[in-house]
Amino acid sequence: TSVIQLTSNVDISHTILVSLKEEYKPVFANVIRLSDNDMRIIKEQFLIGIKSNDVEKLMKLRKKIFEVSGIESTMGHHTFFNTILKDYNYFTKQ
């Protein structure tokens, strides 16, 4: 008999979770129309788009978010996607 201990190397960056300050105030209430899977895809594609500087990918992602949730904004890409992630975490942790 053998016992194998497996450790998971998953940290917060591999999930849809983001750190929130206690005094955080959400911006987009409609973010609750998105699912956990939607948020996983959004975070994944946002990080890919930012890393590769793919503005077209980020615009398509914003359009899809609007279609599903009605959320639109004039914020820059980085601020917008980080706000979406924070707001989703804010509303789903309660």
**What would the pLDDT profile of 43-92 be if each residue is shown by its tens digit?**
999 999 999 999 999 999 999 999 999 999 999 999 999 999 999 999 99
State pTM to two decimals.
0.79
Report whether 91 contacts 83 (CB < 8 A): no
Above 70 in pLDDT, residue 7? no
In whole angstroms, give the CA distance from residue 24 to residue 36.
Answer: 20
**Would you state the pLDDT for residue 10?**
44
Q: Which DSSP category does 53 fall into?
A: T
Q: How far is CA 79 from the centre of its chain?
A: 11
In whole angstroms, give the CA distance from residue 90 to residue 17.
Answer: 10
**Would you state the pLDDT for residue 43?**
93
**Would you state the pLDDT for residue 9?**
52
